[in-house]
Structure 1
Amino acid sequence: MEQTLEPTADAAWVLVDDGCDALRESDRETRFTVSNGFLAARASRAINQSRQRIAPPSTYVAGLFDTRDIERPVPELVPAPDWLQIRVSLPGGPLIQHFGPGPSHPLTLDMRRGLLLTECRLVEGSAVSLRLRLLRLTSQDQRALGLQLLHLETDEGETEITLEASMDGFDSDLTSERLEHEFGVWRTHLSGKGLAMSAAVALRIDGQTLLPTVLSPFRWSWTWRTRPGQVVCFDRLVALARSDAPDQDPGERARNVLDGARTKGWRRVVEQHETAWSNRWSRSDVKVEGDGTAQKALRFAVYHLNGAANPEDPRVSIGARALTGADYRGHVFWDTEIFLLPFYILTWPEAARSLLMYRFHTLDGARAKAAERGWRGAFYAWESTDTGLEATPEQAVGPDRQIIDILTGAQEQHISADVAYAVWQYWQATGDDEFLVAAGAEILLETGRFWASRAQPEADGLHHIRGVIGPDEYHENIDDNAFTNVMARWNIRRALEVAAMLREQWPAQWTALSRRLDLNESELEHWTGVAETMATGLDSGTGLFEQFTGYFDLEDVDLSAYAGRTVPMDVVLGRERTQQSQVIKQADVVALLALLPEEFAGAAGKKNFDYYEPRCGHGSSLSTALHGLVAARLGDVETALDYFHRTAAVDLADTKVAIGGGIHIAAQGGLWMMSVFGFAGLSLRSDGLAFAPHLPASWSSLSFSVQWRGRRLSVRVDQVNQQLEASLEVGEPMILIVGGRPYPLASEAPLILHLESPPP
């Protein structure tokens, strides 16, 4: 066990927190979460002094949604029972965790192995002192499994000691259906989802097994006498399973998974978990030479991205805080499609496919939302859970403690185009025709139909989309938001393209689908007309997109006068003045530039970035990543690097902003996007992958792996020697486009190209 509890030696793979600041306890729990996309365990305190837990919930299971407050029926992710509780006590009471000068309760996140390691001392005056080391994981190999290991070594003192292992939190949000010694089944109150847990525990003293006293279901205790040098080893295995209907029993699966784990033993569970993580890292690691801070940030980002997805469950997606906290109630936003899917598409296409199948399975909810408002096609929920029905709360308390109406569920409509964008990106990168025919085409057609229904013709001969909210959420009920309208036009055109493709290549499937959707040639012709006459806000003379109608007439506030502020600009200026100003919450036109750079001809990209960048207050964690990506593509590398480090600081820096509610998983996806799409300049093309590198001066090299249409290749941008190196590790020969020129890449030999012009 000793070796298992030792972290990876390379510091670039390890995140350490040496202190124990009570005000930062929830932040640490978030940052050091272990997760596998199905089961997550936050880094809650190793040892509890009492049986009453007052900290936030520590265990989450993906897809376990319920509506807990029927007066305000907003579904939310329900915490699962906390299976990690441990209490160590002497005859006189619990042993106290020692917080003295210097490191007192260090947490170590071994990102390479996907392990949380904890170490502390338990003391009783000067008579008893024990060194405690713990490990926890949620298995990347078998996602239903969680493991906790404890190593307790007596430094001094002889006394009677009791270790109690228990579970907490299964009475508050779940109704008990069955509760036995090592097994339980619970139900959510209203949704009827089932959760089963099966557990096994063992404790050995100097290698000899000590049987427990069973106090109650999921609660065991062991009592023995300590002596100096004594070593106690404890392990707890749990298996959890979820069911999604009242008539489904998840119990058998939980028991079967646990039986398999018990047969293998905890050492084999750890070994298989580490092997699965090794496989993920071999396909997704990003290496930076010359900037240790950037390297650590990227490892942290990729660690959480790899721990957020579950390719085995197409009925769930990734919430705005993944499974690391309760903020946003576990709801799914556009974050998944725009900020996360690029990583999965190019490093883990099986996970990307599963996440898009979630949108396919919730397509009926999107159709219902459109129909309720008198439109056709699919209008996806702005906040989504498991059903696809709109889950955005109708009201909230604003920064000034006033009750405000939340309009995003009704007005932030670009979500439908965002989903379509991810579908098309996935298909372009993977060539997964089976997915396109079975699911992707229907999403594209129904979202295209929505926009053709939503945009209305007016006297000026253009189609307008009025009464929306763009990505910049400071301005509500606006007309012709450039991001929304251009993405809608793009969506319609891809829908027309996929219709033509199906008709030509899969005529039988096209006939069946078009009949089922009641889609005819007359409607497709109408879509063409809508796309050709969509209002976009583009001034052909200046090349600027007006963010929305009337934006240029609003007050121009100099944000540099507010440098150093610690609160968002809508708090500084007040809600009303913000809405009457050009201050932007987050990337809007810049977001369009990031997603569809082809819409910005010639120097228009730089003109739009230069205009909108100084007007953005970055009131959202999503904003800096897109600004950094665009800045890197434009060659403004130092600005891009500044945005990179600002994005990394969202979750890694102990600023005045607490992250107890969960990791900002979209910001982590944004770090990967800035590195691969920005600094390496990767873009997807129908005939291959293109690169236009712009590395920061402090980065001597950038290396990463990507997958494209059944191929896996490794790429290294070497700034010192001004070279791009690419090796095809798996798959047929392909084309790389570098500096606008095509080069063949085959597995026989790496491709080494000189970069003609160094990054600025």
Structure 2
Amino acid sequence: MNHSASQPQVDTRHGALAYAEAVPSILPALFRDSDPTWLLVEEGFTLAREHEVESLFAIANGYVGNRGCLAEGSALSAPATFIAGVFEHPQTPGAVPQLITLPDWAGVRIWISDEPLSIERGQVLEHRRVLDLRRGMLWREWRHRDPHGRITRIVACRLASLSDRHLLLHSVTLTAENYSSVVRFESSIDIDSGSMTFPMPDWKPRRSPERPNVLPLVLRTPGVEVNIAFGVMGQLVASTGTVGEREIDADERRIVERCEMNAEIGTECHLHRLISIFTSREKPRPFEDALSHLNRLLPRGIADAASSHVSEWQSRWQTADIEVVGDDSLQRALRFAEYHLISAANPEDGRVSIGARALTGSAYKGHVFWDTEIYMLPFFTFTHPPSARALLEYRYHTLDAARAKARAAGFRGAMYPWESADTGEETTPKAIITPGGEVMRVLNGEMEVHISADIAYGIWQYWNVTGDEEFFSQCGAEIILETARFWASRGTMESDGRYHIRHVIGPDEYHEDVDDNAYTNLMAAWNLRRGAETASLLQSRWAGRWRELADRLQITEEELKTWSKLADSMFTTFDQQTFLFEQFQGYFAKEPANLKSYEPRSVAMDVILGHERIQRTNIVKQADVVMAAYLLWDEMVPEARGANFRYYESR
């Protein structure tokens, strides 16, 4: 292993390596739901869909996530573990931070008489993955006849504990249906070649597989000053009481634990694994914490750990579940969405947020967008305010980075990044390669500025729903004031007496560098008004806090009056006759496109038409004016809401 001068120090004097002698080991069947409206089921196995299925069946708890890949892998598997807030910062010019892909702790291969059990060899008699949405557990059922006619039944379960966010659980039960043979379980953790690993001092493996054994691992990816510690406890037990031997191989790139036993016909072999993960983000000595964590868990066993996890999920569903009568498919889809939302947030950490793909995959590099405040935050605000508050605290902790971005661009206040990671700095790439192979400059980091108003909107809505005055006065108000100040500097009063915000990208990202995007201008005006209102609220209800902010931010009464004037002067192209908002100046003159003429299609319209071509059309990528109508519902007359929906929905 790689011994570094900066390797973590571990104190083993206080029992950090004192393993329990026995672990209650049977995972009760009662942990599996039977109601189909709570189950997402993938029957059979289609190799070409594996990447998609692994994302859909991912498990997570807001701290750590794991893709729903097969334990033994496949030719198209992309196994990965992600920890919220742990980003790699590549040194390559032009590269941006990305969520670190950590080793897959769920890898388990099974050997029957020294031959691997593989879904791609022999005959699959039954195979399904079942995501239990009610309990937050991923099940796998696999019945397989190998080329020698031996039939093996596998039932496996894994979870990321919602009650103990540093805990992962994996249980595999094998039944030899028609044979007697030597069975070997091989669990492994493969380390990426770019990561440095550190050994565990004084670590000695146990050879008897029925006694719990802990595999320790600490790694660090170059460019990241974060140590990530894994403690993996493995135990093999059998229904006959028969045990075999354990063998462990470890080097800098791979740790393998092999547990072997003789299985008679009908024997059930249970491999149980508890995985503890800590990082130096939250603890100064993550190695010790992972091991002491396992020591506390081992005497209780996996059944107790699973029970606590299930209880926490039941508690969350009491406030989150929405029952749909008469449409099981819709009911399941709704619960699937809520499952992944609950899985994505961590109310215990206000320095992380939810990336575009949460903790299910590496797409979008784990970056945080406007989607969090506009699309996700309302769910948490109404169902679990502590999670909502933590998401907004992330924006408060990154407020200084937003101020720095505004200064660098020549503006005042706080200009939040379009994409952000751990530091709150702008992480939008400067250029990308399109599906067509062309290098395209990315303008969103400079022009998709509506995110600053989106964040202020999320804060205001959270406070109005929850009444969390401590957060609003100490954190939220400052963000609203600084984003209002940004909008007062981002536009220009022009000769028509109107305030114009030019060179922007609205939610409809098919049209770049436009002037007076309706969504952006309407939300900016809203933010300016709320900024002035926030100042008034602080003055009347939290006078001390107002004096502190006004002095530190140098806010004057004249500036507050200016915000209100600019909001009233904000330019929008609203037609009093048709009740339509023009999405941006010149939108109505764009080339009309008939979307139905492109059906059926399986890709987005910008892929079909190309980047330059689509900008000449009136095709809308996603709700823009319609989104403004939704968010600012009470500020639009009913005729305008309906007219704009009918007009833009078909485009």
Q: TM-score, length-normalised on structure 2?
A: 0.90
Q: Does 1:240 align with 2:277?
A: yes
Tell me the SS of whatever aligns to 1:584. coil
Deviations 1:578-620 (A, max 9, x none): 21221111111011111111232141111111211112xxxxx
- Residue of structure 2 aligned with 1:97, choices 81, 102, 119: 119
The 3 A distance-change label for structure 1 pair 371 and 41 is same
| Cα distance change, pair 576–95 in 1 and its aligned pair in 2 (3 A) | closer
Q: Does structure 1 residue 267 correspond to structure 2 residue 292?
A: no
Offset at residue 103 of structure 1 (A): 5.8
Higher strand fraction (1 or 2): 1
Q: CA deviation at 1:576?
A: 2.5
| Pairing 1:309–2:345 present | yes
SS of the residue 1:276 aligns to: helix
Match of 2:385, as an amino acid?
P
What residue identity is the alignment partner of 2:279? Answer: R
1:622-657 Cα deviation digits (max 9, x unpaired) = xxxxxxxxxxxxxxxxxxxxxxxxxxxxxxxxxxxx
Paired residues of 1:128 and 1:158 also in contact (CA < 8 A): no
1:378 aligns with 414
Preserved CA contact (<8 Å) 1:146 1:237: yes
Distance 2:45 2:91 in 1: 35
What SS does the aligned partner of 2:508 have?
coil
In the alignment, the residues of structure 2 paired with residue 148 and residue 210 of structure 1 have an alpha-carbon distance, to the nearest angstrom, of 21
Contact 1:320 1:333 in 2 (8 A): yes
The 5 Å alignment of 1:138-153 reads 138-153=160-175
Check conservation: 1:194, 1:243, Cα contact below 8 A. yes
Q: List per-residue Cα deviations over 1:162-200 (Å, max 9, x = no partner).
A: 2222212x2334321344562122222112122111121
Matching of residue 136 in structure 1 with residue 161 in structure 2: no
TM-score w.r.t. length of structure 1: 0.78
Query: 1:39·1:143 contact (CA, 8 Å) conserved in 2?
Result: yes
Contact 1:356 1:423 survives alignment (8 Å): yes
Distance in 2 between residues matched to 1:96 and 1:585, nearest whole Å: 43
The alpha-carbon distance between structure 1 residues 11 and 195, as it changes in their structure 2 partners (threshold 3 A), is: same
User: Is residue 47–residue 76 contact of structure 2 (8 Å, CA) maintained in 1?
Assistant: no
1:279-321 deviation line (CA, Å, top 9, x unaligned)? 0111101100011111111111111111111100111100001
Per the alignment, residue 185 of structure 1 pairs with: 218
Superimposed CA distance per residue, residues 712-741 of structure 1 (whole angstroms, 9 cap, x where no aligned partner)? xxxxxxxxxxxxxxxxxxxxxxxxxxxxxx
Compute the displacement of 1:60 (Å): 1.1
Q: Match of 1:152, SS?
A: strand
- 1:103/1:109 CA distance change after superposition, 3 Å: farther
1:75–1:104 Cα change, 3 Å: same
> Hey, what's the Cα distance between the residues in 2 that align with 1:98 and 1:226?
23
Flag the 1:161–1:570 CA change in 2: closer, same or farther, 3 A: closer
Within-5 A mapping of 1:54-453? 55-97=77-119, 104-126=126-148, 128-168=150-190, 170-179=191-200, 182-206=215-239, 208=241, 210=244, 212-216=246-250, 218-244=255-281, 248-453=284-489
Q: 1:656 is matched with which residue?
A: none
The code of the aligned residue for 1:319 comes to: G
SS of 2:475's partner is helix
CA distance in 2, matches of 1:171, 1:556: 50
**Which amino acid in the other structure matches residue 311 of structure 1?**
P
Deviation at 1:99, TM superposition (A): 6.8
Partners of 1:130 and 1:157 lie apart in 2 by: 9
Deviation of the 1:492 alpha carbon? 0.8
Q: Which ranges in structure 1 are unaligned for 5 or more consecutive residues?
A: 616-760
CA distance in 2, matches of 1:231, 1:291: 39
1:378 CA drift (Å): 0.6
AA matched with 1:223: E
In the alignment, structure 1 residue 17 sits paired with structure 2 residue 42: yes
> Shift in Å at residue 252 of structure 1?
2.7
Given that 1:156 and 1:228 are in contact with CA atoms closer than 8 Å, whether structure 2 keeps it comes out as: yes
Letter matched to residue 13 of structure 1: W
Aligned equivalents of 1:298, 1:88: Cα separation in 2: 36
Q: Is contact 1:479–1:548 with CA below 8 Å preserved after alignment?
A: yes
> Quick one: distance in 1 between partners of 2:583 and 2:451?
17
Show CA shifts across 1:402-451 (max 9, x none). 11111101100000000000000100000000000110001100101000
- AA aligned to 1:200 is M
Contact 1:370/1:379 (8 A) holds in 2 = yes
Q: Deviations over 1:23-74 (max 9, x none)?
A: 001111111111111111111113358xxx8732321111110123522320
Aligned pair partner of 1:566 in 581, 599, 602: 602
The corresponding residue for 1:480 is 516
Post-superposition CA distance 1:518-564 (Å, at most 9, x none): 11112112212211211122223432111111111222223233232
Q: How has the CA–CA distance of structure 1 residues 500 and 2 changed in structure 2, closer, same or farther, with 3 Å as cutoff?
A: closer
Please say which of residues 211-220 and 379-388 is displaced more in the overlay.
211-220
Letter in 2 for 1:14: L
1:37 corresponds to 2:62: yes
Which letter does structure 1 place at the counterpart of 2:98? E
| Cα separation, partners in 2 of 1:465 and 1:48, compared to 1, 3 Å | closer
User: Residue 178 and residue 371 in structure 1: after superposition, are their counterparts in 2 closer, same or farther (change >3 A)?
Assistant: farther
Q: Distance in 2 between matches of 1:230 and 1:484?
A: 65
Alpha-carbon distance in structure 1 between the residues aligned to 2:529 and 2:458 = 15
* Residue identity in the other structure for 1:73: A
Are the equivalent residues in 1 in contact too, given 2:505–2:513 (CA < 8 A)? yes
Distance 1:48 1:449 in 2: 52
Q: Residue 91 of structure 2 contacts residue 223 of structure 2 at CA under 8 Å; is this kept in 1?
A: no
> Which secondary structure state, in structure 2, belongs to the residue aligned with residue 63 of structure 1?
coil
User: Is 2:633 the partner of 1:597?
Assistant: yes
Counterparts of 1:230 and 1:597, CA distance in 2: 63
In the alignment, which residue of structure 1 is the partner of 2:15? none
Deviation per CA, 1:136-156, whole angstroms, max 9, x where unpaired? 001010010000001111112
SS of residue in 2 equivalent to 1:345: helix
| % identity of equivalent residues | 42
| SS class of match (2:155) | strand
When structure 1 is superposed on structure 2, of 511-520 and 176-185 the one drifting more is: 176-185
Q: Relative to structure 1, is the Cα distance of residues 488 and 204 closer, same or farther in structure 2, using a 3 angstrom cutoff? A: same
